[in-house]
Structure 1
Amino acid sequence: MNWRLSSAVIVAFILLVSFGIKRVILPSIPLTSPETLKGLYEQSLKLNSDFENSTHLLLQDSRLKPATNSYVDARFPDVEKQRSSPHLENATILMLCRNWELPEVLKSMRELEDRFNRDYHYPWVFLNDANFTSEFITETSAMATGETFYGHIPPEDWNTPEYINKTKYNESILNFTKNDVIYGDSRSYRNMCHFNSGFFFRQKLLLNYDYYFRVEPGVRYFCDFQMDPFRLMREKRKKYGFVISILEYPDTIPTLWNTVENFLTEYPSYLHENSSIAFITSKDPIGPETLIPKDASPYNMCHFWSNFEIGDLNFFRSQEYLDYFNFLSRSGGFYYERWGDAPVHTIAASLLLDRDDIIDFEDIGYTHPPFFTFPDSVSLQVGKRCIIPQNEKNLDILPHSCLPRWWRYGSGKRFLREYFHEEDYL
């Protein structure tokens, strides 16, 4: 027997032992027969192929997440199941960012694509007060599963308005810096908050959309969405969605509520009859501890953290909201103080909307440093394939969370599964 024949015998024997010893009875004719060796070799290859194909089909049936590190062997295109294209809502994913933030932008995109958008391919809209670089456009386009659009914010929508007194503004910057108010020394941060409060929804790239999902650089999503939040917003007629509710820094908004009260005096009919005003004005303790400030201001500092928000753009385009924003902007508080867009959005939603128009996306695990939120239910964590960070506390059960207050004075405690058709909750 020559060396090639000997090798064939060894290969055939190993393959048969590995894959077919329970299914194949070795023939009684001598192994040295060329016909026998050829038959065994061909049969062993077939068994090997059948084994790999059956394994591949099992993996497909298990619906493992297709990604760059997929377990599915690409050598079997004949059994590849094509994912059907779902119905898309008239919505976009929105990110306000700058070129130097590209690494963190890509991290956020990868997180959201893997956890949600890989199943839907919603478009991304990127906004910047400067032109995006070719590198930024190339790399974000490659990361997105949907179309990507890039907008340069007009200076009149971004820069400090002309009616802001420059001397007073400069003095406030010095005072806020001296008092160590967070972002108190930043002019660009004030421009950003003013823009996010009153101009993001007016940008040309957003005019034809009904819904937006706000994403910021450097955030994470811990669990599979397993549903389309835009569809929920439309079907259940929700106008504003959040995941984190916390207390604002009082030093940033000393006169915000006084300005809101003046607005309500001028526009009393704008206060919705089923509003959630008690959510932002109640100060009674909820639970064993409370950090609600006991000062004279009726505002309790609770707000929805706006770095994650899913909203109806038509709410922000409404005359009620436009009058509200213009009133606040003209007062100068965005610049003479350091009003954030989060309390501005929250107060607007709490006053102008029906409390049932607001939804807590309670089982979407999320972090924007330094705070974390995630479902505590082990069954939810397993079912939604969550990767919960170790040694991090869920903000929702800490004293500075306003979520229990929302459950009492907002629309109550709800579970996302209540909103969906059972067959759609994957």
Structure 2
Amino acid sequence: MELELGGHGVGYRGMCRFRSGPMFMQPVMSAFDYAWTLDTDGYFPADILSDPFERMWREEKVYSYSHVSRDQASAVQHFWEFCRLYFESKKMDPKSTKMMRRITDALVLRDTYWHEWNRVLFMNDIEITKLSWFRGQQYQDFFSFLDSVGGFWLYRWGDHAVRTIAVAMFLDPALLM
């Protein structure tokens, strides 16, 4: 049975899942410190004048992305609810990090503050990742939880959403380029 919710089939959903977690754990990737991923429609609006890998290594950066965008609500159905469930199970407060406050909107519900993700994404159509961080226990535990609820297959959760929330929740902003 092919799921067509939002016009994205099983192959696309599998790619999103792969790029969210298993990609980092592939044996062929173990020889590398960084990975540069490019989508087929990604492009560079200007010449690249320096080596981005050397800069990330020199400045001890973990993640580099091309731009920020906002995802369609239909592409992230129930995603934030499961992220919140994960954070609650780990006794983490999404309001506690500077980057999470930037990508969430404060809401007042019954006299308590709650934050909702505003669907802002660090777009990864052109990105560089420090593989050791994405292979690490914290990121892989987060991915494994999301994978266990089936959202990649049922709702078409994208890899950019997973990495955005993980980066915003777990990384210091100084580690981004």
2:48 and 2:95 map into 1 onto residues whose CA distance is 31
User: Residues 297 and 271 of structure 1: is their aligned pair in 2 closer, same or farther, counting only changes over 3 Å?
Assistant: closer
1:297 and 1:354 map into 2 onto residues whose CA distance is 19
1:217 aligns with 2:47: no
1:281 aligns with 2:104: yes
Task: Select 2:69's aligned residue among 246, 253, 278.
Answer: 246
Larger proportion of strand: 2
| 1:333 alignment counterpart | 151
| 1:173 alignment counterpart | 3
Q: Conserved in 2, the CA contact under 8 Å of 1:280 and 1:302?
A: yes
Mark the structure with the bigger radius of gyration: 1
Q: Conserved in 2, the CA contact under 8 Å of 1:270 and 1:320?
A: no
2:59 and 2:94 map into 1 onto residues whose CA distance is 22
Letter in 1 for 2:132: N
Q: Conserved in 2, the CA contact under 8 Å of 1:275 and 1:353?
A: no
How far residue 214 of structure 1 moved from its aligned partner, in angstroms, is 0.7
CA displacement 1:341-360 (0-9 Å, x = unmatched): 0111111100011122122x
How far residue 282 of structure 1 moved from its aligned partner, in angstroms, is 3.0
2:138 and 2:95 map into 1 onto residues whose CA distance is 11
- Matched ranges for 1:13-32 at <5 A: none
CA displacement 1:25-74 (0-9 Å, x = unmatched): xxxxxxxxxxxxxxxxxxxxxxxxxxxxxxxxxxxxxxxxxxxxxxxxxx
1:204 and 1:272 map into 2 onto residues whose CA distance is 36
User: Residues 182 and 305 of structure 1: is their aligned pair in 2 closer, same or farther, counting only changes over 3 Å?
Assistant: farther
- Aligned-residue sequence identity (percent) comes to 27
Secondary structure, aligned partner of 1:225:
coil
How far residue 297 of structure 1 moved from its aligned partner, in angstroms, is 7.5
How far residue 203 of structure 1 moved from its aligned partner, in angstroms, is 1.3
| 1:237 alignment counterpart | 60
1:318 aligns with 2:136: yes
Task: Select 2:163's aligned residue among 328, 342, 345.
Answer: 345
| 2:14 alignment counterpart | 191
Letter in 2 for 1:347: I
Q: Conserved in 1, the CA contact under 8 Å of 2:66 and 2:125?
A: no
| 1:389 alignment counterpart | none
Aligned residues: 171
- Matched ranges for 1:284-303 at <5 A: 298-303=116-121
Q: Comparing both chains, which one has the higher relative contact order based on Cα–Cα distances under 8 Å and sequence gaps of 6 or more?
A: 2
Letter in 2 for 1:258: E
Q: Please report the TM-score for the alignment, with normalisation by the length of structure 2.
A: 0.87
How far residue 253 of structure 1 moved from its aligned partner, in angstroms, is 1.2
Secondary structure, aligned partner of 1:282:
strand
Instruction: Give the RMSD, CA atoms, in angstroms.
Output: 2.4
Q: Conserved in 2, the CA contact under 8 Å of 1:272 and 1:354?
A: no
CA displacement 1:316-342 (0-9 Å, x = unmatched): 111000110000000111111110001
1:266 aligns with 2:89: yes
Q: Please report the TM-score for the alignment, with normalisation by the length of structure 1.
A: 0.38
Letter in 2 for 1:312: K
- Matched ranges for 1:83-122 at <5 A: none
Q: Conserved in 2, the CA contact under 8 Å of 1:321 and 1:348?
A: yes
User: Residues 300 and 271 of structure 1: is their aligned pair in 2 closer, same or farther, counting only changes over 3 Å?
Assistant: closer
2:88 and 2:97 map into 1 onto residues whose CA distance is 18
2:115 and 2:7 map into 1 onto residues whose CA distance is 20
| 1:207 alignment counterpart | 30
| 2:175 alignment counterpart | 357
1:198 and 1:354 map into 2 onto residues whose CA distance is 20
Unaligned runs of 5+ in 2: 108-113
Unaligned runs of 5+ in 1: 1-169, 285-295, 360-426
CA displacement 1:240-275 (0-9 Å, x = unmatched): 111111000111111000100011112235969654
1:266 and 1:218 map into 2 onto residues whose CA distance is 38
Letter in 2 for 1:307: D
Q: Conserved in 1, the CA contact under 8 Å of 2:36 and 2:126?
A: yes
Q: Conserved in 1, the CA contact under 8 Å of 2:65 and 2:128?
A: yes
1:257 aligns with 2:89: no
User: Residues 324 and 237 of structure 1: is their aligned pair in 2 closer, same or farther, counting only changes over 3 Å?
Assistant: same
How far residue 222 of structure 1 moved from its aligned partner, in angstroms, is 3.0
2:7 and 2:115 map into 1 onto residues whose CA distance is 20
